[in-house]
Structure 1
Amino acid sequence: MTKPVPPPLLNGPFTRREAAEAGASTSLLRGSRFVRVHPTVWVHRDHAMSDHDHVVAAAKAMPEQALLSHASRLFTLGLEVARVRPVHFIVQGDLHLALDGIVVHRTAVLPPRDDIGVTPAAALVQCAESLSLASTVAAGDWLVHRGHTTVEELVATARLHRWRPGARQTLRVVHLVDGRSRSMPESWLRLRLRAAALPTGVPNGPVMLGGELLATGDLVLDEYHLVLEYEGRQHAEDAYQFGVDIERYRRLRRAGWGYLQVVASDLRRPRALVERVHDELRRRGYDGPGPHFGAAWHALDRPIRVGR
C-alpha cells in the first residue's frame, strides 16, 4: 500500500527538515511523487509552481545570511517591476553557491534589512540601477503610498552607501516620488504630463463643490475643472465599481467638470495621450505652451543617467 503524502507537502515547496516535521521519510522524497526544485528543496509533482512558489523555494534553498533583494524583495510586497525569475539575493563577502534560477550579489557591506530580506527602500535603490526613470519613480510612489517606505527613508538609504549601485540614480529622481499616486499607471500618467511641460494636477485630489466633497480623481486639475482617471480592468469587470464610476461621471458633469478616462492601451501610446489631454485643457481655458517632447520626455523610458 502506498504511503499517503502528508497534507503540508502537497501545496508548495518544502525542505527536508519540513518534510521530516510533517512525518515524511527521506525514502518518500526519493520516490516519483516529488520533484527536486533545488538541492535541498522539493515539491509534489502535481503542484503547479507559481511565481510566488519559486521565490519561496529559492529562499528555502539559500543560507540564512543571504537576503532576498532587488526586484525579488519588491515582489513579496505585490509589486512587479521586473521578471520574477531569476530570484535575487545579496550576501556579505563570498558565497560560492550556484543554483538554477537564483542570482547572488556579493557586497562588502549589507544594505538595511528586515525580517524578509533587504528593506523595501534598499530594494528600490538596488532596482534603480537598471529600471527606467519612470518605473523607478512609479515604484517609489507605490511603496510610499502603501506605507512600505517614505521619501525620507529612500534618501537616507541611498546616502548611507553612495557607492552602492542604484544609490546615485535614486538620489537623482527621488524628488519626483509622490505617495499620493495609488498605482503605477497613475504615476506614469503624471510623469508623462510633467515631462511634456503640461499641468499635472493633484494626485488623488478632491473635487469640491460648495464646500462639500464631490469626488476624488487620479489627477485633479482644479484650475481647469478637469479630472484625469486611469481605469484598469477592474473598473469594467466589477459591477459595483462600474456603478460607482457612472455615478461619479454624472456628478462631475452636473458640476461642469470634465472627465478624461485613460486605459492601459493609452499608456502604450503616450504621445497621443498627452496630446489628447492638451486638447481637453485648451477647451477648458488653458493657454500655455503645447506639449514638449524633448529630453525630459525621452528620459522617462531610459535608465537613469548620473554623472561620473
Structure 2
Amino acid sequence: MFPYDLPHVFAGLPFTPRQMPRKLQWLQSHGQIRQLVKGVYVDVRVPDTPELRAEALQLVVPPDATVCGATAAWLHGIELTTLGPEPLLEPHWTFQPRPTVELHGVRVTSPAATAIELAQQLPRTFALSALDALLHHQVVSLDELHESSSAYFANDSKSPAALLLRLADGRAASPGESWLRLRLFDAGFPRPELQVPVDRYRLDLGYPDHPVDGRWLGLEYDSDAWHSSNRQEIRDATRRTDLARIGWHIIPVRRSDLWGSYPALELTVGAFLCQNPKLPRRW
C-alpha cells in the first residue's frame, strides 16, 4: 500500500507512461487502488466523499472549464448506476456559458441545469432515474426544476425531455423504481402512486385509487442486492401473503423483467387492470 504521506488520489502518477499499464493493473488486481473516473485512481482505504470526487476531477478538468452532464450529476452526489450502464465515468466539461455553482473548488453546472441537460442527453430510462435521484437526494427541488425548464421548453412542450421533467418524482428510492414507472407510463397505464403505505408496509408503486373487484394492485422492484438470499425471499413471501390478506395483489419485478424485449410486465399489469397496454415497447 502507499504510505499515507503520498497523495491518495492521482492521475497515473507516480508511474512513467511505459510502466503505467502494468503497474496500475497490478495494484488494481491486488485491491490496493480503485479507479474513480477514467484516468484517476485512489487508494482503496479512502472513502468516497464529495470532496474526493472534486479532487479527482481537478486532476483532469481544465481549471477554466465547467463540469457538465453525467459528470456534474456525479459531483452533485448521484451514483453511476443511476446515470447509465457503464461502470466507469468519463469526465465531461464545457467552455460554453452555463448556469454554474462551485463545489469544493470545481465549477459545475447548477443542479437544475444539470437535471435538464441529462433529460435532453441521456437515454430516457437513465434520464428519468437521474432526475428522480437528484430530486430524491434534494439536490434540486421540483419548483427549481420547473422554474428553470421555462428557459428550455414551452409550458405545453411535448418534447421527450419536457415529458420526463413532468414525470420526475423524488419519492422514487432506486433506479429500478424509476425504470418500472417509465414502463407503466409508456404502456399507457394510469400514473401510479409511489411509496404507498399499506398497513405496516410500504409499496414501491401502487394503485390505491383503482380497485378491481375489491382488490388493489401494487408493484415492487426487487433488486438482486436485497432480494436474493433465502432469508430475503422468505421475508418477501411473508410480506406478500400479509398484503394479499388485506386485498393487495403484488407483482414483484426484477431487473431482468425490465430489460428485455418481451412485454410480460405490461401484459400482467394490463390483465389485472383490465386494460390493453400500448405495444410494442419504446425501450
Q: TM-score, normalised by structure 2?
A: 0.71
Give the alignment of 1:49-60 within 5 angstroms: 50-54=34-38, 57-60=56-59
Match of 1:68 in 2: 67
Structure 1 residues 31 and 136 mapped into 2: Cα distance closer, same or farther (>3 Å)? Answer: closer
Question: Counterparts of 2:25 and 2:248 in 1: how far apart (Å)?
Answer: 57
Stretch of structure 1 that moved more, 121-130 or 214-223: 121-130
Match of 2:268 in 1: 276
Aligned length: 244
Matched, 1:143 2:134: yes
Match of 1:87 in 2: 91
RMSD: 3.4
Match of 1:7 in 2: 4
Give the alignment of 1:226-305 within 5 angstroms: 226-237=217-228, 241-242=232-233, 244-269=235-260, 271-279=263-271, 281=272, 286-287=273-274, 289-293=275-279, 297-298=281-282, 301=283
CA contact (8 A) 1:200 1:219 kept: no
Structure 1: gaps spanning 5 or more residues: 17-28, 37-42, 90-104, 163-167, 208-212, 302-308
Question: Counterparts of 2:57 and 2:4 in 1: how far apart (Å)?
Answer: 21
Measured after TM superposition, the shift of residue 244 of structure 1 is 4.0
Matched, 1:113 2:117: no
Measured after TM superposition, the shift of residue 106 of structure 1 is 2.5
- Larger RCO (CA within 8 A; separation ≥ 6): 1
**Greater Cα radius of gyration, structure 1 or 2:** 1
Give the alignment of 1:189-200 within 5 angstroms: 189-200=180-191
Q: TM-score, normalised by structure 1?
A: 0.66
Question: Counterparts of 1:205 and 1:69 in 2: how far apart (Å)?
Answer: 35
- CA deviations on 1:167-200 (whole Å, 9 max, x unpaired) are x764343111112221222122122212222234
CA contact (8 A) 1:11 1:44 kept: no
Structure 1 residues 198 and 62 mapped into 2: Cα distance closer, same or farther (>3 Å)? Answer: closer
Measured after TM superposition, the shift of residue 74 of structure 1 is 2.0
CA contact (8 A) 1:143 1:149 kept: yes
Match among 106, 111, 117 for residue 126 of structure 1: 117
- CA deviations on 1:189-242 (whole Å, 9 max, x unpaired) are 1222122222342111112xxxxx232111112224221111011233467654
Measured after TM superposition, the shift of residue 275 of structure 1 is 0.4
Instruction: Give the match's secondary structure for 2:205.
Output: strand
Structure 2: gaps spanning 5 or more residues: 41-52, 154-158
